[in-house]
Amino acid sequence: MKNFWKMLAGSVKLIRRDPMMIMLLGVPWLAGAVLGLGVPALAPLVRSALHVDITPYYRLVDMLLLMLTPAIAGMLPGFLMLDERDEGVGVYYAVTPLGGAGYYTSRLILPVAYSIIITPILMALFSLSSPALWRVLCIALIGGVFASANALLLMAFAGNKVEGLAVAKILNIVMLPIFIPFFTDSPWGMIAGFFPAYWMGALMTGPAWMLLPGIIVSGVWLMALYRRTRVR
């Protein structure tokens, strides 16, 4: 356990030393400020100029922020592990007392913690639709597990950080189902339940039991991508 905490502390130090990762950490806060302050300021202007009320879409804006936080959180350990792979360090971690599983755990626990801690704070400061705290926590938990899967997505399909930037664009696609529950409550929408992001969006208005399939689906993604990464 002592080795694990040392590895975890080392992950935090490495992130702090990388300017790009520090910038990524600030993206959700910047987006929250722009969306949380800018959209309400634009609402009366849009209403007077176009006679359109955008306040019913405030929940959609919150979904965007909820989507962005785990997406960014997953990039951090993903890029960190890609750097370590480029330097050949990751191979040596596998033969330490922690082993390969301990190495991945020490890296992947970071996006889970970041999502669970930061998401409620961001929503408290910048939310426009004010969802209940339990909904935010459930969404943050699914988002955290899915963020770890996103980190492994980079490891599984990118050979270096440059390729990782290209693969990161895929994250935008796999996060899009978060918006489906906003536009339809048809059972057909649950076809998108293969994507964890769908359950994040569904929990904005749906019952608490939706947390369970969200965690299960996120876990399936995590395990599948972990196996793909180890094979690579």
- State which H helix or E strand residue 211 sits in: helix 211-231
| Rounded Cα gap, residues 57 and 59, in angstroms | 5
Distance from C-alpha of 84 to C-alpha of 92, rounded to nearest angstrom:
10
pTM of the model: 0.86
Read off the pLDDT of residues 138-186 as tens digits, 9 standing for 90 and up: 999 999 898 888 888 888 888 777 777 778 777 778 888 889 988 887 7
What is the pLDDT at residue 49? 86
> Which one-letter amino acid corresponds to residue 49?
A
pLDDT the model gives residue 202: 92
- So what's the pLDDT on residue 198? 92
Q: So what's the pLDDT on residue 133?
A: 92
What pLDDT sits at residue 88?
66
State the CB neighbour count (10 A cutoff) for residue 81: 25
Total of domains in the chain: 1
Q: What are all long-range contacts of 81-86, with beta carbons under 8 Å and residues at least 24 apart?
A: 81/107, 81/151, 81/154, 81/155, 82/154, 82/155, 82/158, 82/160, 82/161, 82/164, 83/14, 83/18, 83/161, 85/155, 85/160, 86/160, 86/161
Query: What range does the domain containing 111 cover?
Result: 2-231
Q: What tens-digit pLDDT sequence spans the chain (232 residues)?
A: 565 566 666 667 767 777 777 888 888 899 999 999 999 999 999 888 888 888 888 999 999 888 888 888 888 888 888 877 777 666 666 666 666 677 777 788 888 888 888 999 999 999 999 899 999 999 999 998 988 888 888 888 887 777 777 787 777 788 888 899 888 877 777 788 899 999 999 999 889 999 999 999 999 999 998 888 876 6
pLDDT at 121: 93
